[in-house]
Amino acid sequence: MITAADPIEEYVTALAAAVHGPARAKARLIGEIRDGLTDATAARTSEGEPGEAATRAAVREFGTIDDLIPGCQAELTIAQTRHTARLVILTSAALLAYWQLAWITHDTDPAGLPRIVQLFGINMTVLAGAAALLATTTLATTGVLARWLPTPPRLPLVVAWTGTITSAAMGIVTVTLVTASAFGASRLLMMLGGALAAAAHPVLAASARACRRCAQLPGATSALGPSQH
Amino acid sequence: MKADAVRGHLDGLLLAVLEDGPLHGYAIIVAVQQRSGGALDLRTGTTYPALNRLERLGLLRSSWQSVGERRRRCYELTDAGRRSLATERQAWHDFTAAIGSVLNPTPPRAAT
């Protein structure tokens, strides 16, 4: 027997397909909307309205999917931006800590670091510092500071590209350190750094790609800022 | 009142109905509709991302609570949310007073 699809499930499935963002944030938002529709239906049926009519009325009252997309996508874009910013901070902090360790080891290791690796390390430190600064500013300005400061509409895209550049840097770090270790320079330390950078590269790249996708969706930045006034 | 007119005041409306204590999403929507006597044409689904945003801004906090037999995410005002509500109220009062004084001018008093 063919049964009609549940209008609530149809609604939330269509909404879930239309918006993009971090899985956890999206599941929470969609879950709350599903709960709200269930509550609205229950309120109507408790007043004597027949089940299917109550469900359809509740869905109608919620607004069309197009009504909901801008607000939902704006929040999910910010969530993806903040997620990417956190990864950039974590990766940059690990990179800075690693170079610090390499420098300390270099002072006590007669084999030392090759000159090219030292120069490379300085450049990567500057890049990581700049990326971490931008990411920290992003977390602040999309959190409580957003009460007073409007969020620049292009911020998600800027963070996405910062994530991509940091991720690419991790790829270059991996190749450099593995090459340096092959020439016998502080082999264990070089291999450890290479492994860390290799692990960070795909995670950060995926988050940056998702952030760029969110930022380019229609309605992604339409509801940013201190309020929707 | 049309949904577009309501949207500009959604933050204030949501903060106001949470002044008396925590509520879950649908209860917030019902509270707004009841307080307005059904006059506000709210697209109820748009309330959820707005609640999410207010929480991100630190004006609300949320926690899971049992509501009847169900578990629901309930929202309550933070101290910053109470301050923001007071500011919204003052701004609304000033706005309506200014518009009111233009729409309903008090007749000038006769010179004595």
Identify the sign of the CA torsion A69, A70, A75, A79: positive
**What's the pLDDT score for residue A29?**
95
Q: A227 and chain B: CB distance < 8 Å anywhere?
A: yes
Q: Which residues from chain B sit within 8 angstroms of residue A74, using beta carbons?
A: 49, 53
Cβ neighbours around B98 below 10 Å, total: 10
Q: For residue B88, is pLDDT > 60?
A: yes
By CA distance, what is A229's nearest residue in B?
Answer: B8
Q: A172 and chain B: CB distance < 8 Å anywhere?
A: no
Task: Check: CB of residue B18 under 8 Å from CB of residue B81.
Answer: yes
Q: For residue B7, is pLDDT > 80?
A: no
Sheet holding B23-24, edge to edge: B23-24, B70-77, B60-67
Global pTM value: 0.85
Q: To probe the interface with A, which of B14, B46, B51, B87 has the most A CB atoms within 10 Å?
A: B46
**What's the pLDDT score for residue A228?**
40
By CA distance, what is A15's nearest residue in B?
Answer: B45
pLDDT tens string for chain A (229 positions)? 445 578 999 999 999 999 999 999 999 999 999 999 999 999 999 988 888 899 999 999 899 999 999 999 999 999 999 999 999 999 998 888 877 777 766 655 545 566 777 777 788 888 889 999 999 999 999 998 998 888 898 999 999 999 999 999 888 888 877 777 776 666 777 788 888 888 889 999 999 999 999 998 876 666 554 444 3
Instruction: Tell me the per-residue pLDDT of B9-49, one tens digit each, with 9 for 90 and over.
Output: 889 999 999 999 999 999 999 999 899 888 886 778 889 99
Residue closest to A83 by CA, chosen among A214, A226, A183: A214
**What's the pLDDT score for residue A107?**
58
Residue closest to A164 by CA, chosen among A209, A220, A120, A121: A209
Q: A144 and chain B: CB distance < 8 Å anywhere?
A: yes
Q: Rounded distance, CA A83 to CA A97, Å? A: 21
**What's the pLDDT score for residue B44?**
84
Task: Check: CB of residue B75 under 8 Å from CB of residue B18.
Answer: yes
Q: B58 and chain A: CB distance < 8 Å anywhere?
A: yes
**From the CA of B104, how many Å to the nearest CA of chain A?**
26
Share of chain B above pLDDT 70, in %: 88
Q: To probe the interface with A, which of B13, B42, B52 has the most A CB atoms within 10 Å?
A: B52
**What's the pLDDT score for residue A226?**
47
Residue A98 Cα distances to A69, A114, A128, A188, A200, angstroms = 42, 16, 11, 13, 13
**What's the pLDDT score for residue A16?**
96
Q: Which residues from chain B sit within 8 angstroms of residue A228, using beta carbons?
A: 7-8, 10-11, 50
**What's the pLDDT score for residue A150?**
87
